[in-house]
């Protein structure tokens, strides 16, 4: 059985976290491409990912929001997860509970970093409808 693997784009400027996420997501059976910046991620978008997992604070404090917007503009059907430690680091919290939130945060799911591997796997499968 040779089924095409789903492609997951993971973007984070913390290379240790990026490696850890890549390892987890590959262990779930997905193909993974990684980027350490918005610019690198934009170059990866030549090939459409099936899902994207983005850090929020990279080059700028809102880099993940900007990248999510660009991904949704180019590929509206690609699910986007923002995985961040912004609340722990700044005390500012974001959520996707209301339609107003969803209008300016172009993501399908918002997760605080520290997510367990099994939970991440479940959320990816849910968004990809697997």
Domain boundaries, the chain: 7-128
Dihedral pair phi/psi, residue 42, rounded to 5°: -60, -35
pLDDT at res. 104: 52
| Stretches in the chain below the pLDDT threshold 50 | 1-2
- CATH code of the domain made up of 7-128: 3.40.50.2300
pLDDT in tens, 33-56: 999 999 999 999 999 999 999 998
């Amino acid at each position: 059985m040779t089924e095409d693997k789903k492609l997951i784009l993971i973007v984070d400027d913390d290379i240790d976290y990026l490696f850890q996420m890549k390892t987890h997501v590959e262990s779930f059976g997905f193909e993974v491409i990684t980027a350490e910046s918005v610019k690198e991620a934009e170059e990866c978008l030549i090939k459409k990912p099936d899902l994207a997992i983005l850090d929020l604070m990279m080059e700028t404090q809102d880099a993940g929001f900007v990248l999510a917007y660009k991904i949704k503009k180019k590929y509206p059907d690609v699910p986007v997860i923002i995985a961040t430690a912004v609340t722990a680091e700044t005390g500012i919290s974001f959520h996707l509970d209301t339609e107003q939130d969803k209008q300016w945060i172009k993501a399908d799911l918002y997760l605080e970093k520290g997510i367990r591997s099994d939970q991440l796997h479940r959320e990816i499968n849910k968004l990809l409808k697997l």
